[in-house]
């Protein structure tokens, strides 16, 4: 089932992460300026993006833990990942797709989906363990 709100939030989160990486690219990720700002162009940038997605996923999972089952949290995460993946493709097209862009899309989608969904699952479990209630 499609949860548009989650998808929009996912797209916004990806846009925000990309904006932060673009602004701090030379300072944090690629001091030599070898490549364009893009989260898959640098190992630290991949780690940063994955951490951000995981964090957002945890928040989503914890919110769901209050009154919804585990499956709902995962579906929220997947919807959010879908939205983030769409935003990722849009950004990739805007910066100019390279010669292996379909592979890039798959890699990026896996990073996004695994991070957010794992975060949602962790958040839900953590929320339940901490006794989060609505």
Backbone angles phi, psi at 98, to 5 degrees: -85, -170
Q: Is residue 109 near other proteins by the rule CB under 8 A?
A: no
Q: Is residue 99 near other proteins by the rule CB under 8 A?
A: yes
Rounded CA-CA distance 54/48 in Å is: 10
Could you say which of 68, 101, 122, 132 contacts other proteins (CB under 8 A)? 101
CB of residue 40 vs other proteins: minimum separation in angstroms?
Answer: 5
Q: Is residue 94 near other proteins by the rule CB under 8 A?
A: yes
From residue 32 to residue 51, what is the string marking binding to other proteins with x (rule CB under 8 A)?
Answer: xxxxx-x-xxxx-xx-----
- The encoded tokens of residue 104 equal 């890039």
Which residues, at least 6 apart from 56, have a Cβ–Cβ distance to it below 8 Å? 9, 13, 80, 116, 119
Residue the block writes with tokens 């969904």: 117
User: Segment near other proteins (CB under 8 A), from 5-13, 54-62, 70-78, 96-104?
Assistant: 96-104
């Amino acid at each position: 089932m499609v949860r548009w709100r989650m998808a929009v939030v996912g797209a916004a989160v990806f846009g925000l992460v990309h904006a932060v990486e673009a602004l701090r690219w030379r300072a944090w990720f690629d001091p030599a300026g070898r490549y364009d700002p893009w989260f898959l162009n640098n190992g630290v940038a991949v780690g940063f993006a994955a951490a951000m997605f995981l964090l957002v996923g945890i928040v989503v999972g914890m919110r769901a833990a209050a009154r919804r089952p585990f499956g709902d949290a995962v579906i929220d995460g997947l919807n959010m990942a879908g939205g983030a993946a769409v935003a990722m493709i849009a950004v990739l097209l805007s910066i100019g797709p390279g010669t292996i862009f379909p592979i890039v899309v798959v890699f990026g989608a896996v990073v996004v989906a695994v991070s957010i969904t794992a975060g949602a699952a962790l958040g839900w479990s953590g929320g339940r363990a901490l006794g989060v209630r609505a």
